[in-house]
């Protein structure tokens, strides 16, 4: 009897059959970091958008991404590859487009992961000073985080999943406790101000959706781990649906609770004054210990996001090394079954960038906030633009694939859901680009356009490189298009 892919001990070198649905959900949610969204994302959204409709934004994007997950989940159950985005694009839209998507995705995931070191180093240094009175430079704490991420990255993903599970569970507990306290101590009483249409359907909607999208970054990563999941035909799609539902509902509730705790009439001005410190300042009024504990967990939530995006980037390196788009050394795995070539490549890239920003920032006028206003802001906003763009392209690729190869799917699955998701994601991508100056907090023309140009330029380089590889005929085309990973329908029984 033939052994199914999910029953094998290894597949393409990665350890398979390890990750359960719950493990995948933790990995996916860790990338968005619940406490980071509450403490960093929601106040920033209120401050910059100047609107109370932040909770609605999570629900609206949750609906769009749920539509995306309909076809995406079906494709992930049929094509199990750590390449995810680019494999799906190649299968649906063509080999060159797939390679372009591969390079763009690789750049975006690395930008997101490396950019987070700026906020992590800054927050860890602040927490250490507040808790122990010890002052250390942000880059030194960034290196400590880098070491932890690097060590976990070359170990089996199951171990990382357990670490992330603990961190994410603690984050949820803190956010739930904060939300209950905020609602119980609402200075202006309980209201539905944040759910009123006029606080969402207004000119500021572009900024609101652009910042809200950041909370969902990484939700698509379930498919990246399909080769390492138990029963991937069901696990990946199930985990994606659960993660999207939890992210949308939980973040909408916590953003509304924050608004109630501060007061609808004060939330915008308070968010503009305190920024990411708003949650901790609010908690400090009730308990300094609770505020310090939440601040410390904020740092661990950033660590969880760093681990999640490191693993995603490492698997993109791995898949591209195996397919011949990048050198074969990137496609190596270690004894643990982890993609050691890709993990080390990501770690080396991260430490080089950290070193550059540490040197440049040492003489900057903004030395204290330097890692936040440069490394974090520049890199993560560009990454959000790139990943949102990829979501839009992947939606249309899924639609083409489903209509071409799986006509047995319903019209909703193969056409309506991916089409609506693609249009929605294209609109959000445009809104991010239009409001990029606000997201970057600068009017500098060079900075506003250089980061999106890096993202789109990487896609263009990918198209050119794809053409070169096709002409050379030196790559594994079937691996890139997912044909070697696609599950063929079982033949009908004969009598």
- Phi/psi region, residue 454 (left: phi>0; alpha: psi -120 to 50; beta: rest), is alpha
DSSP, collapsed to helix, strand or coil, labels residue 10 as strand
Q: Say what the pLDDT of residue 312 is.
A: 86
Residue 405 has pLDDT above 50, yes or no: yes
pLDDT, tens digit (0-9, with 9 covering 90-100), for 391-404: 999 999 999 999 99
Q: Say what the pLDDT of residue 14 is.
A: 59
pLDDT band at 366 (very low <50, low <70, confident <90, very high): low
Residue 412 has pLDDT above 90, yes or no: yes
pLDDT band at 365 (very low <50, low <70, confident <90, very high): low
**Between 491 and 195, where is the model more confident?**
195
pLDDT band at 155 (very low <50, low <70, confident <90, very high): confident
Read off the DSSP letter of residue 14: E
Q: Say what the pLDDT of residue 100 is.
A: 93
Q: Say what the pLDDT of residue 8 is.
A: 37
What is the percent of the chain where pLDDT is above 90?
A: 39
Minimum mean pLDDT range among 8-22, 105-119, 140-154:
8-22
**Degrees to nearest 5, angle at CA 224 with 219 and 226:** 110
Residue 138 has pLDDT above 70, yes or no: yes
pLDDT band at 270 (very low <50, low <70, confident <90, very high): very high
Residue 106 has pLDDT above 60, yes or no: yes
Residue in this structure with the two tokens 């035909």, named with its chain if needed: 233
Q: Which of 117, 114, 142 is nearest to 128 (CA)?
A: 142
What is the percent of the chain where pLDDT is above 70?
A: 91
Q: Say what the pLDDT of residue 82 is.
A: 62
Beta bridge partners of 79: 486
Q: Say what the pLDDT of residue 6 is.
A: 37
For residue 275, what are the CA distances in angstroms to 48, 261, 271, 351? 10, 15, 5, 28
Q: State both tokens at 160.
A: 């990382």
CA atoms of 77 and 372, how far apart (whole Å): 39
pLDDT, tens digit (0-9, with 9 covering 90-100), for 206-253: 888 888 887 887 777 777 777 777 777 778 888 888 888 888 999 999
pLDDT band at 101 (very low <50, low <70, confident <90, very high): very high
Count of residues in the chain: 495
For the residues 433-455, what does the mean pLDDT come to?
84
Residue 491 has pLDDT above 80, yes or no: no
**Between 333 and 409, where is the model more confident?**
409
CA distance from start to end of the chain: 19
- φ/ψ of residue 230, rounded to 5: -75, 135
pLDDT band at 180 (very low <50, low <70, confident <90, very high): very high
Q: Say what the pLDDT of residue 489 is.
A: 45
CA atoms of 165 and 61, how far apart (whole Å): 25
For the residues 115-122, what does the mean pLDDT come to?
92
Residue 5: count of CB within 10 angstroms of its CB? 16
Strands 14-15 and 10-11 come out as antiparallel
Average pLDDT over the chain, rounded to an integer: 85
Residue 303 has pLDDT above 60, yes or no: yes
Q: Say what the pLDDT of residue 316 is.
A: 86
- φ/ψ of residue 27, rounded to 5: -65, -45
CA atoms of 208 and 57, how far apart (whole Å): 7
Residue 323 has pLDDT above 70, yes or no: yes
Give the list of residues 6+ apart from residue 490 with CB closer than 8 angstroms, or none. none
**Between 111 and 443, where is the model more confident?**
111
Return the CATH superfamily for domain 23-481.
Amino acid/polyamine transporter I (1.20.1740.10)
For the residues 61-88, what does the mean pLDDT come to?
85
Minimum mean pLDDT range among 137-146, 153-162, 253-262, 314-323:
153-162
CA atoms of 363 and 373, how far apart (whole Å): 15
Residue 343 has pLDDT above 80, yes or no: yes
Q: Say what the pLDDT of residue 486 is.
A: 56
Q: Say what the pLDDT of residue 475 is.
A: 76
Alpha-carbon dihedral 31, 33, 38, 39, rounded to 10 degrees: -110
Residue 453: count of CB within 10 angstroms of its CB? 13
Read off the DSSP letter of residue 155: S
């Amino acid at each position: 009897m033939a052994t199914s892919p999910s029953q094998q001990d290894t597949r393409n070198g990665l350890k398979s059959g390890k990750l359960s649905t719950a493990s995948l959900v933790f990995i996916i949610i860790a990338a968005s970091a619940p406490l980071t969204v509450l403490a960093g994302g929601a106040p920033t959204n209120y401050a910059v958008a100047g609107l109370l409709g932040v909770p609605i934004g999570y629900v609206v994007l949750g609906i769009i991404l749920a539509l995306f997950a309909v076809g995406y989940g079906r494709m992930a159950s049929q094509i199990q590859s750590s390449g995810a985005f680019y494999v799906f694009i190649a299968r649906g839209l063509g080999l060159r487009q797939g390679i372009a998507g591969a390079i763009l995705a690789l750049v975006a995931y690395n930008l997101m992961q490396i950019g987070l070191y700026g906020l992590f180093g800054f927050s860890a240094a602040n927490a250490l000073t507040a808790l122990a009175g010890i002052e250390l430079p942000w880059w030194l704490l960034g290196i400590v985080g880098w070491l932890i991420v690097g060590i976990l990255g070359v170990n089996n993903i199951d171990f990382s999943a357990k670490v992330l599970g603990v961190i994410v569970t603690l984050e949820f507990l803190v956010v739930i406790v904060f939300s209950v306290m905020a609602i119980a101590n609402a200075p202006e009483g309980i209201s539905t101000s944040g759910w009123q249409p006029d606080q969402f359907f207004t000119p500021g909607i572009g900024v609101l959706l652009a910042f809200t999208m950041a909370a969902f970054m990484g939700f698509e990563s379930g498919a990246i781990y399909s080769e390492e999941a138990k029963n991937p035909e069901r696990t990946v799609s199930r985990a994606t649906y659960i993660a999207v539902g939890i992210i949308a509902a939980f973040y909408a509730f916590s953003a509304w609770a924050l608004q109630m705790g501060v007061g609808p009439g004060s939330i915008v001005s308070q968010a503009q004054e305190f920024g990411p410190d708003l949650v901790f300042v609010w908690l400090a009024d009730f308990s300094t210990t609770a505020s310090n504990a939440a601040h410390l967990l904020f740092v661990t939530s950033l660590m969880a996001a760093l681990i999640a995006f490191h693993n995603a980037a490492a698997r993109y390196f791995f898949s591209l090394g195996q397919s011949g788009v990048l050198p074969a050394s990137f496609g190596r795995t270690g004894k643990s079954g982890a993609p050691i070539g890709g993990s080390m490549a990501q770690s080396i890239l991260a430490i080089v960038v950290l070193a550059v920003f540490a040197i440049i920032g040492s003489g900057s006028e903004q030395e204290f906030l330097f890692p936040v206003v440069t490394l974090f802001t520049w890199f993560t906003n560009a990454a959000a633009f790139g990943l949102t763009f990829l979501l839009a392209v992947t939606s249309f690729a899924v639609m083409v694939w489903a209509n071409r190869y799986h006509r047995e799917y319903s019209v909703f699955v193969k056409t309506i859901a991916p089409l609506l998701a693609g249009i929605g994601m294209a609109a959000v991508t445009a809104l991010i680009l239009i409001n990029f100056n606000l997201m970057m907090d600068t009017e500098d023309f060079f900075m506003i356009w250089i980061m999106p140009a890096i993202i789109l330029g990487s896609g263009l380089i990918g198209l050119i490189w794809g053409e070169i590889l096709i002409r050379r005929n030196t790559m594994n085309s079937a691996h890139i298009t997912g044909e070697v990973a696609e599950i063929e329908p079982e033949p009908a029984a004969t009598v």
